[in-house]
Amino acid sequence: MNWTASAIALTVGAALCSSHAFALTQQQINQLGDTVDLSYHVLDNTQDEWRTFRGKITLNNTGQTELPASGWSIWFSHIRQIPTVYSDQFTISHINGDIFKLSPTSAFKGLAVGQSLDIVFDGSDWAVAKTDVMPNWYFASEHQGGQVTALIKSTSNSVAGSVPVKPDEELPFVADFTSAKQWKRYDSASLTDHYDPFTPAQRFERNAELTALVNPVGIVPAPNELVLGEGQVSLDDSWSVVYDAGYEVEAEYLAKQLGLNAVPWSPQTAKTIKVGWGQVLQDHKLRWREAYQLNVNAAQNHIQIHAVDAAGAFYAAQSLLQLVDNRIVPAVKISDAPRFDYRGFSIDTSRNFRSKDNILSLLDQMARFKLNTLHLRLADDEGWRIEIAALPELTDIGAKRCHDPDERTCLMPFLGAGPEGTPESDGFYTAADYREILAYAKARNITVIPEIDMPGHAHAAIKAMEARYHRLMAENKHAEAAEFLLSDPQDTTQYLSVQMFTDNAINVCLESSFNFADVVVKELVALHDGIQPLKTFHFGGDEIAGAWKNSPACADFFASNDKGITNADQLSQYFVERISAITAGYGLNLGGWEDGLMHGEVYPRSAMVNAEVTGNAWQNIWEWGVADRAYKLANNGFNVILNHATHLYFDHPYEPDPAERGYYWAPRFIDTRKTFGYMPDDVYGNADFTRAGVAISKAEVLASASDDAKKLVHPENVVGIQSSLWAETVRTESQYEGMVFPRLIAMAERAWHEAGWEADDRAGKATDVTYRDQDYNRFANLLGQRLFPMLEQDGIAFNLPVPGAKLEQGVLLANSPFPGLAIQYSTDQGASWQAYSSQNPPSVTGRVWLRTVSGERSSRIAKLH
């Protein structure tokens, strides 16, 4: 079924205006929420060859009164369209975005106490993981001119006030996936999904080549040169950190971390860590940005840091801190400089909000691993997260969710926020919060780039400005009301965005839309002023879904503009050029996602007046015919940041398992090893497997690339690498940290350090697989033995992988992707756990349960039969 805007409008109207046989009171609706249990079952993803799954919603009346025949509806978030319901007793209507409404029809006669019923439906695309299902479904009923709501308790993701990390615990109302037809997306003679959940034995084989190193010494990301010396230095309270002029801040930071004092340098000072200026020579060339040399001299009881700039001194401090173990530092000489100037991480704070404290903690870890750019996505369809003083509705309405179908007081409760919202769905950064984040980032050599996605992904902003419009119109302030309006009330264009919004594209034919953009950019510039001057504004620009075709405002614009624009297909480039002019007027560079800088072909760079325009190349390197976009942009004069979803989007699961968190629209899964293996100098060489698990080669990807982008003609335009976390399924702090770490560390390795095993397309160099595996063994050991304890001490809930295991003649053999990470096993279904030792593996009989642990946390459990 095709859902048109008019059909959706009728559905919403019916939801708000229909006359029920009777309405329920708040007490009655609360009782339904407490006593009607709801469960969700994915039945079959393989019933046809493409893009349909069958599911079942079960209602079970556990209360003392009948579920009435009418007067209620169930509202819920669902990431897939529901075109077919196999019941004459219920309808399921799409409202907007991922919000749906289940309503009884006249054929439904009520549900008696102790009875249950099934509502079978077909959904579009697939649902192959528990986290495809959103929590916090709720009852709603019209009552005395308004609506009363109650959370369906069985669908709540909150247990004793907190949300568990594991989907199995967080989403108990979602039935287990027990058969291949539930976790495969298709399975036919012509199209097969080759992925199944890993077994313990398969995990064991995936980890088999990893070997535990004894007391590994190293730094992550790996330095350009590291030479171990003889002996070690013992730091005690008699040591001090001394500094040359210009390096005071970095010296004081290092001294604080080590519990020492920082003092100006003098020849008489003994036992010193000296931080000062010095040249860094690498590959017979002087390095002038962020480079350093670190010399730990055991014979002289002295540590010397030479750095070309303050950033280099800061990174030398991070390297030294990784080497310290109980105040002991091995003798070592390091010469180091970054591979890329831009080493970034982008985080979606819009879908689910990350608090200021979350961001400050993230900045500490980014600094530890020498990342220097935080790309903050502050606005999307589901939320606006930055205070703009001139437009308070942006946060008054756009930063919270609740049950308000008109969206005049809040946004609808997208992504499972429930009728009253949650701590994760609501929130924004005040001006003071944001400036604190900027200052904290600056002290850690990290640049903050704000992103306000436009013209698409703008539902939150559009609804906030509509609320402003209605408020001012009611005050008879007509001109002021229209000043920042982002939508044409007469626009009848029917479209559906990727996230199923019907109204998320700012109307670029309205001059008020550019008034809005100008005010937002101006206020962001002011927020940065005096702390970290804003250099780049990121306008997003991605995933615009066929808007503006039937807009009277656009028809007027087509008839009267002097730009030669005659149809809606030309409007995207027009918008980018206008945003370019606005941002350049404030002296800013411009950033956008790759699809924001092209419409079929790349927009002419000369049409954009910013000194620099940068595109994040994100789409898959192996499918959809867009593998060549990174090279296209670079070859046409744009700066490019490699941000490919196949390796660098951390909203994907770690394993192809329905119990793992995350979506699977790019690759089926991304583990730390895959991110570690990403090769920036041979983008097409990263091709490995399709989403169906079919091997794909570089040659196959090249065959689909356009002739002008088969080769990177201007490598100097590839300025960096970035990973991203999109937060649709990531609600809590611990969930977010588990999705980011340790994959972010692997990405930092590639952004800072060019490994000798990497393929290089320009040099005709292929991947050295043997060397790569050896290098990953080093990296994995450093994580398992050195870095994970540091993260645990900092309170970072990094992901704990499920261990591999097998039995050989009654002896349990187990391993993990990170040698040194503790493994436990149980022979009594997890009632008690014992530490596993690879040096003394236990003899066991029957079933065995295994998990990895760190502190009080544990991984998902593997069952060995």
Read off the pLDDT of residues 40-91 as tens digits, 9 standing for 90 and up: 999 999 988 778 999 999 999 999 999 999 999 999 999 999 999 999 999 9
- Residue ranges in 478-539 assigned as alpha helix (H): 478-482, 511-528
For the beta carbon of residue 26, count every other beta carbon within 10 angstroms.
Answer: 12
Please provide the CATH number assigned to the domain covering 342-770: 3.20.20.80
Residues involved in catalysis = 543
CB 468 within 8 A of CB 484: yes
Q: Which of 118, 117, 112 is nearest to 66 (CA)?
A: 112
Sheet containing 146-151: which strands, arranged edge to edge?
A: 90-96, 99-104, 73-77, 138-143, 146-151
Q: Which of 705, 712, 686 is nearest to 631 (CA)?
A: 712
CA distance 470 to 462: 12
CA distance 178 to 163: 24
Whole-structure pTM value? 0.95
Say yes or no: do domains 342-770 and 771-864 share a fold.
Answer: no
Chain centroid to CA 253 = 30
CA distance 840 to 69: 64
CB 751 within 8 A of CB 339: yes
The torsion angle over the Cα atoms of residues 156, 157, 161 and 162, rounded to 10 degrees, is 180
Read off the pLDDT of residues 454-512 as tens digits, 9 standing for 90 and up: 999 999 999 999 999 999 999 999 999 999 999 999 999 999 999 999 999 999 999 99
Q: How crowded is the C-beta side of 531, counted as CA atoms within 13 Å?
A: 22
Q: Which residues of the chain have pLDDT under 50?
A: 1-21
| Helix or strand holding residue 630 (H, E) | helix 629-635
Q: Which two tokens stand for residue 27?
A: 């007490």
Give the pairing of strands 225-234 and 536-540: unpaired
Which CATH number is correct for 225-336, 3.90.550.10, 3.40.50.300, 3.30.379.10, 3.40.1010.10?
Answer: 3.30.379.10
Tell me, what's the pLDDT at 704? Answer: 85
- Domain boundary assignment for the chain: 26-192, 225-336, 342-770, 771-864
Determine phi and psi for 487, rounding to 5 degrees: -135, 150
> How wide is the angle at C-alpha 460 spanned by C-alphas 456 and 466, nearest 5°?
105
CB 767 within 8 A of CB 679: yes
| Helix or strand holding residue 104 (H, E) | strand 99-104
CA distance 720 to 614: 10
CB 74 within 8 A of CB 139: yes
Please provide the CATH number assigned to the domain covering 26-192: 2.60.40.290
Instruction: Give 404's DSSP letter.
Output: -
The torsion angle over the Cα atoms of residues 252, 255, 256 and 257, rounded to 10 degrees, is 130
Tell me, what's the pLDDT at 160? Answer: 65
Specify the amino acid at residue 610: N
CB 658 within 8 A of CB 182: yes
> How wide is the angle at C-alpha 455 spanned by C-alphas 454 and 461, nearest 5°?
70
CA distance 249 to 186: 57
CA distance 740 to 346: 11
Q: Which residues contact 12 (CB under 8 A, 6 or more apart)?
A: 95, 96, 405
CA distance 336 to 267: 27
Cβ-count burial of 483 within 10 angstroms (0-12 exposed, 13-18 middle, 19+ buried)?
middle
Q: CA quadruple 590, 596, 598, 602: dihedral positive or negative?
A: positive
CA distance 666 to 545: 19
Q: Which two tokens stand for residue 391?
A: 């437009």
Residue ranges with strand state E in 116-239? 116-124, 138-143, 146-151, 225-234
CA distance 378 to 400: 14
Q: Which two tokens stand for residue 641?
A: 């940041």
Q: Which of 97, 57, 58 is nearest to 81 (CA)?
A: 97
Q: Which CATH architecture has domain 771-864?
A: Sandwich (2.60)
Q: Which of 216, 204, 206, 200 is nearest to 820 (CA)?
A: 216
Task: List the end-to-end C-alpha distance of the chain, in Å, as a whole number.
Answer: 45
> What is the 3-class SS of 640-672, one letter each residue?
EEECCHHHHECCCCCCCCCCCCCCCCCCCCCCH
CB 45 within 8 A of CB 96: no
Q: Which two tokens stand for residue 776?
A: 């990953």
